[in-house]
Amino acid sequence: MHPYTKKQRALLEFVSKFCRTHGVPPTLEEIGKHFKVSRVTAFQHLRALERRGAVRRRSREARSLEILDPTWRPIPLLGTISAGSPIEATEESDTVDLRDFFPAKGDYYLLRVKGDSMVDDHIADGDLVLVERRVEPRDGDTVVAVLPGVGVEEATLKRFYREAGGAVRLEPRNRRLKAKRVNQMEVRGVVRGVLRKY
């Protein structure tokens, strides 16, 4: 699927927030009022999203709009679960928008992890890491480091630390592996999150 246009993203964001705040989807009139457009224009924007399979609405029902794209659809938050000693089983009524886990600003990309050098940071083989394109990391950041190789560049995911004399220590997070000190390298980004599918 091609990326959404700026207007489509704004509309999805508005509908998602409206649903979280009010517990029901907005009407065409409420969408038009928010974006300062006519009801007809609001309908046309929704139709474009319907054709893309991002939303669904039933005709002749004012509040029948439903977000289908899981990236924009709030997911029910049903309660708390213990990962230690058992706790009382209780249920809550809330939702979580998956977009809250993704930064709204900045330039990001995903990389699939191969190997186990970062397992102590809970980054495992097959995981996806969300990387912000940034060339000035802070000490301790997990970075995408590109090292000069013989005829080819080598990329690796490691913790970044500056050392005396302009050297850099690239540290794995696996007790079986040793850190590497380099004088030449390029940072292509800083890890901001990890995605894992079970």
Q: Which among 117, 178, 180, 197 is annotated as catalytic? A: 117
Q: Does the annotation count 117 as an active-site position?
A: yes
The secondary structure of the chain as a DSSP string is -PPPPHHHHHHHHHHHHHHHHHSSPPPHHHHHHHHT--HHHHHHHHHHHHHTTSEE--TT-TT--EE--TTTS-EEEEE---SSS-----EEEEEE-GGGGS-SSS-EEEEE--SSTTGGGT--TT-EEEEE--S-PPTT-EEEEEE--SSS-EEEEEEEEE-GGG-EEEE-S-TTS--EEES--EEEEEEEEEE---
Q: Which among 114, 158, 178, 197 is annotated as catalytic? A: 158
Q: Does the annotation count 158 as an active-site position?
A: yes
CA 116 from chain center: how many Å?
Answer: 22
The residues annotated as belonging to the active site are: 117, 158
